[in-house]
Amino acid sequence: MLTVCDFCSELILENEIYFCVNIATYSKKSGQNTLVLPEKTDKEEKNVVLFNLKKATEEELNNSVHKHKKFDLCKTCYQKFFEDPFFNY
């Protein structure tokens, strides 16, 4: 299966190192406590935490908007992303 950089569309060659970036966003009201993210696990999908369901109130859940995106980035784009995540270059 071919892997392509999601930013520059360059083909990532076999055995070439590339980087997976998982971004999770959720809505939050000012004044709420910060949700605590659990330690990373060895399964990639578990690196992204949706919500702490046990602690969330029904209202918080109803008003929450969660989005998750995953990107594959080549080494060059990953370095740019890490230096400037909002792509101001």
Tell me if 8 contacts Zn ion by CB under 5 A. yes
Q: What is the DSSP string of 6-49?
A: TTT-PEEPTT---EEEEEEEE---TTPPPPPPPPP-SSGGGGS-
Closer residue to Zn ion (CB): 9 or 41: 9
Least distance (Å) between residue 10 CB and Zn ion = 5
Q: Are 76 and 18 in contact (CB under 8 A)?
A: no
Stretch that binds Zn ion, among 9-17, 21-29, 30-38, 60-68 (CB under 5 A): 9-17
Residues contributing to the site for Zn ion (CB under 5 A)? 5, 7-8, 10, 74, 77
